[in-house]
Amino acid sequence: MQAGGNTAAALKLLEGLFSQPVVTAKDVARITGLSVPATYSLIAKFGEMGLLTEISGRRWRRVYMYRPYIELFDDDLVRAPV
């Protein structure tokens, strides 16, 4: 997986999302150890791959969900629009 050119960070994030499937950019930076710009790049790449969905609807302090994982446990969410 090439996510933002940093495979190790992408794998750390993917692993971290199983224990914390709803995250902020600050959470992603903590999980991966990436800089702020690299964190947003990785979030964008995960979004392009359909792994992270922005759910807060805010411009600042956005919240992202590991939607494919959450959908395994929540039938109502599967029917919700993306």
**Domain definitions of the chain by residue range:** 7-79
> Is there a contact between 51 and 68 (Cβ–Cβ < 8 Å)?
yes
Three-state SS at 60: coil
**Residue-wise pLDDT tens digits, 25-71:** 999 999 999 999 999 999 999 999 999 999 998 888 999 999 889 88
* pTM, entire model: 0.81
Give phi and psi for 75, each to the nearest 5: -65, -35
CATH of domain 7-79: 1.10.10.10
> Is there a contact between 32 and 9 (Cβ–Cβ < 8 Å)?
yes
Token reading at 78: 């599967």
Cα–Cα distance for residue pair 67/69, rounded to 1 Å? 5
Which is more confidently placed, 76 or 41?
A: 41
What is the pLDDT averaged over residues 7-11?
A: 94
Residue 3 confidence (pLDDT):
47
